[in-house]
Structure 1
Amino acid sequence: MSTSGLPFDDFRELIANLPGPVTQALVDARQRDSQLTKPPGALGRLEEIAFWLAAWSGRKPAVTRPLVAIFAGNHGVTRQRITPYPPEVTKQMVANFSNGGAAINQICAAYDLGLKVFDLALDYPTGDITEEAALSERDCAATMAFGMEAIAGGTDLLCIGEMGIGNTTIAAAINYALYGGTAQEWVGPGTGSEGEVLQRKIEAVEKAVELHRDHLSDPLELLRRLGGREIAAMAGAILAARMERIPVIIDGYVATAAAAVLKAANPAALDHCLIGHVSGEPGHMRAIDKLGKTPLLALGMRLGEGTGAALAAGIVKAAAACHTGMATFESAGVSNKD
């Protein structure tokens, strides 16, 4: 990626120089796992999750301060009538989060997860991507930087989620631009688009990608032209977590699109991330496959709000607890295999 002296340059350098896993922490975790009171591999993927926690946190697997971060943004593309809900719903749902009335509030309470909600200039929608770029380079970089501050205050497991009427259209456009195929393959119902509304959604994605086609080979340029504030903020949060050695769980279709931009810029950019679930959005599993990931859950959910990532955090917490809390053969006085 070439540099230009513009706001993206710092992010280009950051993405190109991401820290890797802590090998010794991984070795130590594997050694302990071999001594736990169970047959080798008996906990299946829970064991791999414990190893992943160790490698990317650089310490013994533990989840003591998990956080769900929800980023909310509005999109100018809703002027194309691509969703049955008005943009005002984004702000109303943010208030619902604050009042404890949303699904994510209940899941966070059930799994003892922290929750932060970030309102990203909801009164000022991004540009309509069928007519212009969503954001300027300066605004996109500033929003990524804002997202990086989501981990301020400390966490040891970050769950990324979003809220934004129209943002499954944005996610579809990003995936179509990155991976090709047809717009129809990437566009789904979102909040309930069907019939003529769904057709307008497909047409909006086609028109947007065609309009910006000459500028989409650069992932960050793709992000600013086709993305949105919550997309940019989630990308920034994922990057910040990598720099601070915080493992990440990515939520649904929209959050996965934000992650895909980073993967396009650096193939190793998401090594510290898990995909929490595969949503009911038709393009999500295809997008996950492009990232080379395997989701933890498949519950048919398509709500957003970080709900799938939060549910997956319960599994990650259990994986860490099993690894650190189980007795070894020696400490339990249990005979190991010969």
Structure 2
Amino acid sequence: MDAPENPTSESAEQPEPVATPAEAAPAEAAAAEIAAEAADVVEAAEAVEAAAEAAAEAIAEAAAELAPGPAPLDLDKLADQADRPDEAARDELRARLAGLAIPAAGLGRLEELAIWLAGTRGTAEPRPIERARVVVFAGDHGVAALGVSATAPEDAAAVTAARVKQIEDGGGAVGVLARLHGATVRVVDVNVGSPSGRIDHEDAATRAEIEEAFRAGMAIADAEADSGADVLIPAMVGVGGSTVASALSGVLTGKDAGAVTGRGSGIDDTAWMRKCAAVRDAMRRGRPVLGDQLELLTRIGGRDYAALTGFLLQAVVRRVPVLLDGVTTTACAMLVQRIAYRSPQWLLAGALSAEPAHKSAVDRLSLNPLIDGYAVRQAEGALGLLALPLVKAAAALAAELQTFGEAEIPEPVLRSRV
């Protein structure tokens, strides 16, 4: 019998068969298994990604270690480049000065200065000094926190920053004297706002920081030499600077802390005793590394001292005459002397300050200050600038004075050549 063409409503509304719980369990288990496997895959992918990132970081670190950085400073190699001044130029100018139409040795020490300039310039042809340049290195010192200065410890950083701005604006004693004597001033911010370590119980800086600052000072000397500077006057500004200089001077001269520690900015007896104690403790830390100038700067110097020392050494290498300022620059000059023993032949000592470490330093350098007896404490370039007119006078007199023959004046028969 054929099926009806139009099924009844009952047959059309029959529901789909529904799986029983027993039949659904295997499907759910399979789905759960698939989900677990997917989670395992995701977790494995994340682990692979993390491992790849770690490997990439390790490779980058290894590459950085293998990448060539700046070679360690070879002070012996730099010392070999520090030559003597030109002795032939000295002899030639000495002979000319002996024939000037003035009393024999009538210019006194000014003749010595002119002869010194001839040697450092490498020519007996005298010419005036037209481009004197003051370079002031600025930095903060952690030892200022001990109350070793007339400035309150909490104000040390602000005072250093204010002094730097004053000098940059043409103020201060260095600005007044620079304008008076026709010099220009450059300020180098080495570590203003970033004090060195407290040298009585910790290193002033890391060895890497010292070498970096030393190289920076050399580069500045190169720039000044390339610009045609006739005379360089290095200086330093920063609260606590004379304490660091005293410690360096004590180590380098072998004197006791009390013999090299002065009143600095005008401190009272109590502050002076604190300063002596800080210098004493710093000297104890510095003595074991006396033979390593960079390590000495690391322990009891600082980045500003390293920059100034590098500046002085490179000025000597570039054969530019240097007029030293106060106790800070002479401390650095003693370091340079230990690196290159010929270096003091390129240096002049300006005005002698009242700091005992300053006198000890110029004695060690075998220098004779051009100005003595005024007990000026203000440094920051002023002590060098006070002596600049004497150097300029020596150059001008040697350049412009005539000999007996040039002036057509008969030379005295009994003239002494002594």
Q: State the TM bucket, normalised to the shorter chain.
A: over 0.9
Going from structure 1 to structure 2, the CA distance change for 1:173 and 1:8 (only over 3 Å counts) comes to farther
2:217 pairs with 1:147 = yes
The one-character-per-residue Cα deviations of 1:47-67 (angstroms, maximum 9, x if unpaired) are: 010111010110233312111
Q: Equivalent residue of 2:352, what SS? A: coil
Deviation at residue 301 of structure 1 after TM alignment: 0.8
Contact 2:135 2:232 (C-alpha < 8 Å) held by counterparts: yes
Contact 1:8 1:220 (C-alpha < 8 Å) held by counterparts: no
Aligned to 1:64: 130
Aligned to 1:99: 169
Deviation at residue 8 of structure 1 after TM alignment: 5.1
2:97 pairs with 1:27 = no
Contact 1:7 1:137 (C-alpha < 8 Å) held by counterparts: no
2:189 pairs with 1:115 = no
Aligned to 1:207: 281
From 241, 250, 254, the equivalent of 2:315 is 241
| AA partner of residue 47 (structure 1) | E
| Whole-angstrom CA distance in 1 between matches of 2:146 and 2:192 | 18
2:242 pairs with 1:177 = no
Contact 1:107 1:311 (C-alpha < 8 Å) held by counterparts: yes
| Whole-angstrom CA distance in 1 between matches of 2:344 and 2:268 | 33
Aligned to 2:102: 38
Contact 2:139 2:193 (C-alpha < 8 Å) held by counterparts: no
Q: Which structure has the larger Rg over C-alpha atoms?
A: 2
The structure whose residues are more often helix, as a share, is: 2
| Whole-angstrom CA distance in 2 between matches of 1:213 and 1:91 | 32
Please give the residue correspondences for 1:214-233 in structure 2 after superposition, counting only pairs within 5 Å: 214-233=288-307
Contact 1:251 1:275 (C-alpha < 8 Å) held by counterparts: yes
Aligned to 1:12: 76
Extract unaligned runs of 5+ from structure 1. none
Aligned to 2:39: none
Deviation at residue 195 of structure 1 after TM alignment: 2.3
Q: What's the Cα RMSD here?
A: 1.7
Going from structure 1 to structure 2, the CA distance change for 1:137 and 1:72 (only over 3 Å counts) comes to same
From 297, 302, 308, the equivalent of 2:371 is 297
The one-character-per-residue Cα deviations of 1:292-312 (angstroms, maximum 9, x if unpaired) are: 111001221111111111121
Aligned to 2:392: 317
Q: Equivalent residue of 1:259, what SS? A: helix
From 86, 89, 93, the equivalent of 2:159 is 89
From 271, 276, 280, the equivalent of 2:345 is 271
Aligned to 1:52: 116
Q: Equivalent residue of 1:154, what SS? A: coil
Deviation at residue 149 of structure 1 after TM alignment: 2.9
Q: Equivalent residue of 1:95, what SS? A: helix
Deviation at residue 259 of structure 1 after TM alignment: 0.5
Deviation at residue 325 of structure 1 after TM alignment: 0.6
Query: How many matched pairs?
Result: 334
| Whole-angstrom CA distance in 2 between matches of 1:305 and 1:213 | 27
Contact 1:7 1:138 (C-alpha < 8 Å) held by counterparts: no
Aligned to 1:335: 410
| Whole-angstrom CA distance in 1 between matches of 2:204 and 2:386 | 31
Q: Equivalent residue of 1:274, what SS? A: strand
| Whole-angstrom CA distance in 2 between matches of 1:110 and 1:84 | 29
Contact 2:327 2:355 (C-alpha < 8 Å) held by counterparts: yes
| Whole-angstrom CA distance in 1 between matches of 2:107 and 2:133 | 25
| AA partner of residue 290 (structure 1) | R
- The answer to which structure, 1 or 2, has the higher relative contact order (CA under 8 A, 6+ apart) is 1
| AA partner of residue 209 (structure 1) | M
Q: Percent identity?
A: 34
| AA partner of residue 95 (structure 2) | Q
The one-character-per-residue Cα deviations of 1:106-135 (angstroms, maximum 9, x if unpaired) are: 101111111111111201111111122112
- Which of 314-323 and 111-120 deviates more? 111-120
| Whole-angstrom CA distance in 1 between matches of 2:287 and 2:232 | 33
| Whole-angstrom CA distance in 2 between matches of 1:308 and 1:250 | 8
Contact 2:73 2:211 (C-alpha < 8 Å) held by counterparts: no
Going from structure 1 to structure 2, the CA distance change for 1:6 and 1:130 (only over 3 Å counts) comes to farther
| Whole-angstrom CA distance in 1 between matches of 2:272 and 2:315 | 36
Q: Deviating runs (4+, > 4 A) in structure 1?
A: 5-8
Contact 2:309 2:332 (C-alpha < 8 Å) held by counterparts: yes
| Whole-angstrom CA distance in 2 between matches of 1:270 and 1:16 | 15
Aligned to 1:133: 203
Q: How high is the TM-score relative to the length of structure 2?
A: 0.76
Contact 1:159 1:313 (C-alpha < 8 Å) held by counterparts: no
